[in-house]
């Protein structure tokens, strides 16, 4: 097939699908963006972005050019010769993989697939999802056979919101296909928009690659989180140790502690493999131990808040505590799986009068996990408001925050991100956690 003439449909216009849509459009490939959320579709039609690190101008350029069109009508995949699925893969309430978004998307597009169409899954998931679960719903709904009548592949997303070095076109793209022909077709498609494409032997190898990447981060973050607690007991600053260790030019990679894990990848993806491994009688002890360490961090941090308040002869119960930073990482508006919500819950359970400040998240949006906080607004950044809190807990180190002002306004700061390292402070003013 001549891939230079094709039009692609990208299902899911969130933090993965929208940047990918814009990159393909910039590369001259006509894109049809599909999403069940009509507010996203209407925003894009109005040439507006709803993701902080993607500008209105970037959206407007591709919409005005006609290369990016958007819709809520999934039947329109019949207009496309390739379909890329970028939908969420959360954990359910029992911490088990929830691939319902993938399967529902497959069922929605299957009746409209034509022979020769390429379907690529980008959502992070366990090995076997593409060639077993997604394949089954596509074949049942279309009457076509994967690898014979249509192509099927997996290519994991590698988005890193807020990182200026994370440019879609320059991040190598791993691609695995159900058959060699499926892989070749997917490689040809991605090569039109991505500078480096890395073929692997199968969909499962590509699925496993993404899991390894995120498990690597999760395990190493757990290691430094554990060392943070151990070194603190020894009156050693783990941040100083990490900064010294990373001067070694080989054999060491710096990871940094924090108040817990957040985002759509690292707190979730490792447990996709843990769950699937049980099917093969395998136990993922490193992954499970890392999960235990990271999950325990918010409780440790809140205990440090209690210690800091006790030093001022104040109990947690009745004290005003501000959580600074609601987004799960610096300089983004993405609050998915943010440990800040757990911190707010734990502090409130101990009787604290809690609030939050985040310049990128002015109001908490409705979500499945934290609906009780929906509608809560970020407090104003003023000396009167911020100075009225008994303690400020830095959970996310946004660059937009003036930490010099924070030091002038607040007597008690609990810092989980080493954000106050370069700021002049008074003795006993900052507690690391």
Gyration radius from the chain CA atoms: 23
User: Alpha helices of 14-161 — where are they, by DSSP H?
Assistant: 17-26, 38-45, 56-65, 100-109, 135-142
Of 60, 35, 23, 34, the C-alpha closest to 45 is 60
Q: What single DSSP character describes residue 222?
A: H
Burial per residue of 317-335, b for 16 or more beta-carbon CB atoms within 10 angstroms, e otherwise = eebebbbbbbbbbbbbbbb
Q: How many CB atoms lie within 10 A of CB 251?
A: 6
Catalytic residue among 86, 182, 203, 265: 265
Rounded (to 5) percent helix, strand, coil in the chain: 40, 15, 45
Give, as one character, the DSSP assignment of residue 263. Answer: S
Helix (H) or strand (E) holding 187: helix 180-190
Is 265 one of the catalytic residues? Answer: yes
Sequential DSSP letters for 4-57: GG--EEEE--STTHHHHHHHHHHTT--EEEE-S-HHHHHHHHTT---STTS-HH
Nearest to 271 by CA among 288, 293, 258, 249: 288
| Euclidean distance between CA atoms 266 and 163, whole angstroms | 16
Run of H or E including 186: helix 180-190
Q: Which residues are catalytic?
A: 265
């Amino acid at each position: 097939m001549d891939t230079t003439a094709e039009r692609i449909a990208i299902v899911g216009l969130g933090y993965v699908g929208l940047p990918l849509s814009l990159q393909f459009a910039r590369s001259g490939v006509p894109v049809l963006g599909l999403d069940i959320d009509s507010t996203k579709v209407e925003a894009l039609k109005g040439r507006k972005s709803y993701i902080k690190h993607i500008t209105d101008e970037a959206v407007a350029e591709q919409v005005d050019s006609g290369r990016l069109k958007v819709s809520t009508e999934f039947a329109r995949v019949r207009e496309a010769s390739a379909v890329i699925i970028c939908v969420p893969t959360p954990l359910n309430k029992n911490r088990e993989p929830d691939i319902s978004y993938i399967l529902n998307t497959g069922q929605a597009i299957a009746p409209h697939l034509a022979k020769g169409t390429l379907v690529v899954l980008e959502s992070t998931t366990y090995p076997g999802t593409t060639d077993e679960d997604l394949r089954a719903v596509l074949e049942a709904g279309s009457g076509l056979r994967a690898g014979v009548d249509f192509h099927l592949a997996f290519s994991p997303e590698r988005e890193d919101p807020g990182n200026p070095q994370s440019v879609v076109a320059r991040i190598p793209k791993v691609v695995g296909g159900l058959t060699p022909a499926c892989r070749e077709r997917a490689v040809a498609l991605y090569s039109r928009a991505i500078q480096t494409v890395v073929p692997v032997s199968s969909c499962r190898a590509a699925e496993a690659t993404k899991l390894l990447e995120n498990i690597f981060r999760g395990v190493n973050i757990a290691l430094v989180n554990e060392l943070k607690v151990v070194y603190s007991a020894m009156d050693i600053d783990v941040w100083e140790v990490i900064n010294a260790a990373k001067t070694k030019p080989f054999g060491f990679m710096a990871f940094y502690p924090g108040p817990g894990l957040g985002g759509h990848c690292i707190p979730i993806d490792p447990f996709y493999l843990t769950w699937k491994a049980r099917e093969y009688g395998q136990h993922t002890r490193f992954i499970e131990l890392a999960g235990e360490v990271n999950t325990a961090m918010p409780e440790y941090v809140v205990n440090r808040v209690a210690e800091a308040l006790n030093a001022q002869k104040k109990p947690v119960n009745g004290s005003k505590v501000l959580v600074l930073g609601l987004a799960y990482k610096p300089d983004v508006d993405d609050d998915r799986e943010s440990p800040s919500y757990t911190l707010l819950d734990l502090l409130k359970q101990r009787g604290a009068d809690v609030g939050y400040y985040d310049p990128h998240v002015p109001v908490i949006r409705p979500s499945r996990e934290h609906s009780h906080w929906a509608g809560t607004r970020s407090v104003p950044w003023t000396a009167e408001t911020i100075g009225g809190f008994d303690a400020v807990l830095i959970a996310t180190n946004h660059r937009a925050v003036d930490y010099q002002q924070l030091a002038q306004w607040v007597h008690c700061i609990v810092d989980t991100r080493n954000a106050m390292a370069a700021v002049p402070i008074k003795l006993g003013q900052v507690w690391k956690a």
